[in-house]
Structures are given as structure tokens and as C-alpha cells.
Chains A and B, each alone.
Chain A
Amino acid sequence: MEDHELKNIWQAYNRQLEEARILNMQTWVVHMQTVEYLQLHKAQSRLQSLGRFKTGIVVLGIVWCLFLGVLVWGNWFKNPYFTISVGMLLLFNLLAVILYIYHIVLIRRISYSESVTGTQQQLAKLQASTLKAIRILWLQMPFYCTWFWHSSWIDYGSARFWLITFPITLFFTVLAIWLYKQIDYKNRHKKWFRLLMGGKEWTTVVKAMDYLDEINRFKQEEQVHLQNG
């Protein structure tokens, strides 16, 4: 089979479309009413719904941060462990909220009229960047184990504290730092990663990462050609 034979088949396809009158205005009409219906009924694109989902998360995040802020303000150093722990929780949640706001800005900036690889890369990056927010949120884990600490437990060498509370906090601290470092695209094929990120939302994130890899390979080839050229 030669090039022209492939093209001939495609041209036959064009003729077939014409003959089948699928392209005929009588069977395939796009008119003013269509545009009006689109404006009225289909006012939400996939990106917009992703934007709305992220906006919802931001609103919830802000409410949660306000709650934490009130707790910190209302208990300002009455118990330093409580103030510092809740203050750190507030900090990590604020960072995550800022990251989600950044995502919303990115969503608004994405344009489908850019080049195909450019737009697809931006879309995949947007989905993949959810992982950054998750990494940050894991770091708050140890502070959920410290907000109820009391200085008397340390001052008087409470056995329950040193044998149970402290080791548990230490364990979660090490785990949080390890997860922060290890939740990365390069580890996506590891069993623990797939167990942890096995949900539907994470599957989308992992797929987006794979796609980013694919686009990079697709574009990389041109660099090889340029170097060779």
C-alpha cells in the first residue's frame, strides 16, 4: 500500500460523508437556535465544573481555617502546645487553600485555542498538581497528635505520655515527612502508592501524570531532531 492509496481512502470517506448527506444542512443543521441553546443549557464546560469543585474546596478550606484561627486566637498561649499545634494546622491548611486558589487561576487561564500540546500539557499539569496539595496536607498529621499535650506531662515525666503519646506522635512525624518526600510521580508504580492513591480521584491524577510524560516524550523527539539537524 502506498501513500496515495491511504489518501484515496480518506477522500472516499469525504465523498461518503457528502453522499450520505450527513453534512447537508437538512440533516445536520447548526443555526442560531443551536447557539442560543448552547448558551442557555450547556453553560458549564468540564473545566468550569472542575473550577467549581475547586472553589467548593477553597470555601470549605477557608471555613476550616477561620475555625482554626478562632481557636488559636481564643486560646492564645494558654497552652503553648495547643496554640502551636493548631497554629501549624492553620498554616498547612492555608497553604493548601492558596494552592487551590492558584489552580482556579490556572483554570481561568487555560485556553483551548493554544496549540494542542500546549493546552493538553496545561490541563494535565493542573490535574497532576493536586498531588502537591496532598503532600502539604500530609505534613499536618503530627500536629493532630500534639494539640492536647500538656507541659505537666513532660515536667512530671508521665509514663503514659512517654510510652504511648510521644512514640505515636514520633511515628506520625516520621510517616508525614516520609510521605511528603515519597508522594511523587516517580513512585506511582509502587504498591504503597497505588494503595494510598487507589481512589477514583487519584487514578485521574496518576493518569494525568502519565499523560504529561507522554506529551513530554512527544515533544522531546523534536529536540533530538534539532540536535541531529
Chain B
Amino acid sequence: MDNSTAQHDFVQLMAANKGILLKICNAYCTSKADREDLAQEIIFTLWKANSTYNPDYKFSTWMYRVALNVAISYYRSTKKTRNTIPFTEMHIDLPDLPAEADAGGGIALLHRHIAALPELDRALIILYFEEKTYREIADIIGITETNAATKISRIKEKLKQQMRNTQTKAYGRP
């Protein structure tokens, strides 16, 4: 496969799976500049690792692995936004979500509680919300299905409790 065909195929795959990229960037970065930098880093790593993708498996599973690994490493790194290409050239724009679309404030609240979770727990709950099976989650994260299920159950309980507490504080009702 020549380079231009590989690039074309890669771009098609990115376009089809850009939701994964966006949600992971939103979950690990709060500022727009960081999100754009992280998006660039994920795309670059995916492009570099493109040859390691085995078409026998789901592309999204492979993409989640790479994207989460890059996002967690980025999140843990102290040096951020050091090498961002201006987004006008990159054609990547990840603005903050408009507040009016979240009238009840639930999305922002859930995001805030997810952002407070440890990095690995955050990866687990994103995969759960993205309707991945426990088997796929276990495969992406590198733990057993039982362990994934137990952890997700615990994280969900924690999130529900936190959401309840915040709502009680805000509205005086559970």
C-alpha cells in the first residue's frame, strides 16, 4: 500500500471514529488548548502505530487502547501544550460545549465527577458509558472481566452517590 492510500484510509478511519477522540480529550483535559494538543498527539500516535493494527480485531478497540494510553500519559505529564501546531493549520477545533444544551446541568456535573476519578478508573467508566462489553473493556485496560465488572460497579456507585449529594445540596432534594 503506498503512502497516499495509507493516509487516505487512515483519514477515513479517523473521520468515522472521531467521537472516541473527542470524548477522551474532553475526559482528560479541561482547557481547549490542552484538548487540541492532546488530539494532535493522539492522531500522531495512531498514525505512527497504524502498522500495528490487526484488522482481525475491531478498529475501535485498538483506537481506544492507543488513545487512552496517550491521554493518560499526557494527563500525567507536567509539560503540556508545548508543541501544538496552530489549529488553523491543523483543522482541529475542540471548543467548550455550549452551556445552553445542558439545561439541567447533569452533563457538566457528571463530567466534573468523572474528571475527579483516578486516570484508570476514568478510562473504565468512559468505556462502560460507550457501551463496550466487559470483555472488550478488560481487553483494552488489561485486566480480567471480573475485575473490570467489579471496578465499574464500584465507580458507578461512587458517581451515583456524588450526583445525589450534589443534587441534594443544589435543590434540597435527593
Contact = CB atoms under 8 A, between A and B. Distances in A.
B18 interface: yes
B102 A16 contact: yes
Interface string B35-71: 0000011011101110011000000001001101110
Nearest to A222: B147
B163 interface: yes
Given A17-B22, A30-B18, A221 B147 contact: yes
Interface string A138-149: 000000000000
A38 B44 contact: yes
Interface string B90-121: 11111101100110001100110000001010
Contacts of A218: 120, 143
Interface string A79-111: 000000000000000000000000000000001
Nearest to A214: B118
Contacts of B143: 117, 218-219, 222
Contact of B142 (A7, A20, A22, A118): A118
Nearest to A43: B44
A34 interface: yes
B147 to A, nearest CB: 3
A218 B141 CA distance: 11
Nearest to B142: A115
Contact-residue bracket for chain A: 35 or more
A6 B47 CA distance: 34
Given A116-B65, A123-B73, A42 B142 contact: no
Interface string A1-22: 1110111011011101101101
B120 A116 contact: yes
Contact of B160 (A6, A34, A112, A123): A6
B164 A28 contact: no
B41 A225 contact: no
A184 B8 CA distance: 50
B43 to A, nearest CB: 6
Chain B interface, DSSP helix/strand/loop, else mixed = helix
Interface string B59-90: 00010011011101110111100010100011
Contacts of B141: 115-117
B93 A28 contact: yes
B69 A225 contact: no
Chain A interface, DSSP helix/strand/loop, else mixed = helix
A30 B144 contact: no
Nearest to B84: A42
Interface residues of B, number: 71
Nearest to B110: A9
A173 B28 CA distance: 47
Contact of B159 (A6, A35, A123): A6
Contacts of B163: 1, 6
A156 B70 CA distance: 65
Interface in B130-164: 139-144, 146-147, 150-151, 156, 159-160, 163-164
Given A23-B19, A45-B44, A28 B92 contact: yes
A20 B49 contact: no
A115 B101 contact: no
Given A20-B101, A117-B120, A35 B19 contact: no
Interface of B: 4, 7-8, 10-11, 14-15, 18-19, 22-23, 40-41, 43-45, 47-49, 52-53, 62, 65-66, 68-70, 72-74, 76-79, 83, 85, 89-95, 97-98, 101-102, 106-107, 110-111, 118, 120, 123, 129, 139-144, 146-147, 150-151, 156, 159-160, 163-164, 167
